[in-house]
Structure 1
């Protein structure tokens, strides 16, 4: 469960000429106009604005415009965020009011009977590993889903605009899976957990990487993460393992995506996601071997 508050510093930055609501410390290296992450287009030196990429006198662009980290520029920079929120809310309604057994079928469940040694849930084998993902779309009560989705709405669009839809989706899902995997690794013999918090913390971690890469003040996002970690370790019933696992995965995936060398950017970014998934698989295999060995 996540509850966060937006923090704003006293600093003043120029505002993007195309998105006046977005502060930025980056300018187009060709025309000098301030541009936000959504408008940054990679250039041989620095970043260009979309107009400069199109060329003078309205000439067509010489190459497809991309976000700062290789994603496609899109009209709606928050589409994936909206879809994820919609899925989470829909699953909550179905599991809480229309099909209550669904929660038991989808939650991150793992249990090994001390009497018979019979394994249930994730511990039972690969045909139950789907729970590592489905559990990240389940919530126990309106406040639980509401606080998580509010946090995603506050933080998700900024990250989605700079990464692009595909990369943002990958980061979100990998963070959720990593949170679930750490839960299983630490307490696989008897665990029942659910919620999107691991993925949300992954978004927090990647946002911190973005702020550092863009040379923007880290204070607000660090305060947000610390605030939520304090809640994580002080309020009973919150699964700290999912939060920590998601946060670490978000930071590592964010580093791989945002600091990839331009010449091999797609390869490095894809490799980062594959390595994170390999880490998730390794945690599951290690704990499964321990439980059944």
Structure 2
């Protein structure tokens, strides 16, 4: 039997040939070979796990962590930044669809228009539904003028206010202004039934003035706009001054709360103020009878 020579010591072993070392694999897909590493954590990543970075590539987890640390863009007066004024477009569509529905169901005005007596008897939804209806298409050219003016004003003013306030706050402003106009009609409108988005639109007029002042813009043009429309309200017959002025006052108050809320706890103050306005409007309807209708 011949004896075998002892194995060489580690220092005597031959060097590893180039290319013989272990090939790195993706940390998420161990079966995939890769020589690309994440620029942040230095882990190997395959093409499916690569994300473009300012320099090189990053892995999925590092990109996710980086996005969480990036502060989201905000509208000037709070809320998320608005790229497209979707709330404005949604309100336009709702008003136009409601106007088209009046052709198919003429009785909709009687059932859902703003009427003090019906609201007093418990049909509270008329406070908001009447703000999405307009003069009947069967009444001639005035009805067309009615909705065209309101929708043109919403188209012109809405996107600017939505971008300044953020979509959620803009929606709250519009709806509270609409309800404020309806509450004024309930209290001071008498037996007349009213419809139209004018209360909400006048609320936007007031808000545009407040926001312009807050952001340092020249608001004189807005004052002229408000003055002219208020004059029209009292000069031409058949226009509900109650709805217009109620919406104007409500929208101005809500916009002031949004625009001048302190930077600290801004969202809490803004939403709290909007809720307080809504509570006041609800109390006016539930605790007071229509003031312009004797005997109630």
TM bin, normalised by shorter chain, reads: 0.7 to 0.9
Residue aligned with 1:75, SS? coil
Which residue in 2 is equivalent to 1:75?
A: 83
1:227 matched to 2:228: yes
Q: Find the aligned partners of 2:284 and 2:154 in 1 and give their Cα distance.
A: 26
Alignment of 1:1-293 (within 5 A): 62-76=70-84, 78-95=85-102, 97-111=103-117, 121-125=118-122, 128-140=123-135, 141-188=143-190, 190-288=191-289
SS at match of 2:289: helix
Tell whether the 8 Å contact from 2:116 to 2:290 is kept in structure 1 after alignment.
no
Flag as ranges the 4+ runs of structure 1 deviating above 4 A.
57-61, 289-293
Question: C-alpha offsets along residues 2-60 of structure 1, whole Å, 9 cap, x if unaligned?
Answer: xxxxxxxxxxxxxxxxxxxxxxxxxxxxxxxxxxxxxxxxxxxxxxxxxxxxxxx7986
Whether contact under 8 Å (2:116, 2:186) holds in the other structure is: yes
Q: Which residue of 2 aligns with 1:6?
A: none
Q: What is the TM-score normalised by the length of structure 1?
A: 0.72
- Per-residue Cα deviation, 1:143-191 (whole angstroms, up to 9, x for no partner): 1111100011111110000111100000000000000001111135x13
Shift of 1:286: 3.5
Structure 2 Cα separation of the partners of residues 287 and 249 of structure 1: 18
Structure 1 match to 2:48: none
Q: Which runs of 5+ in 2 are unaligned?
A: 1-53, 56-65, 136-142
* Contact 1:174–1:249, Cα closer than 8 Å, also in 2: yes
Q: In 2, are the aligned partners of 1:69 and 1:163 still within 8 Å (CA)?
A: yes
CA offsets per residue over residues 203-236 of structure 1, 9 Å max, x none?
Answer: 0100000110011111111110001001001000
Task: Give the TM-score normalised by the residue count of structure 2.
Answer: 0.72
Contact 1:71–1:162 (8 Å) recurs in 2: no
Determine which structure has more spread, i.e. the larger CA radius of gyration: 2
Q: Distance in 2 between matches of 1:155 and 1:177?
A: 19
Q: Deviations over 1:227-270 (max 9, x none)?
A: 10010010000000111110111110001001111111111111
Q: Which residue of 2 aligns with 1:27?
A: none
- Give 3-state SS (helix, strand or coil) of 1:69's partner: coil
State the Cα distance separating 1:289 from its structure 2 match.
Answer: 8.0
Q: Distance in 2 between matches of 1:248 and 1:162?
A: 20
SS at the partner of 2:192? Answer: strand
Where does structure 1 lack aligned partners over 5 or more consecutive residues? 1-56, 112-120
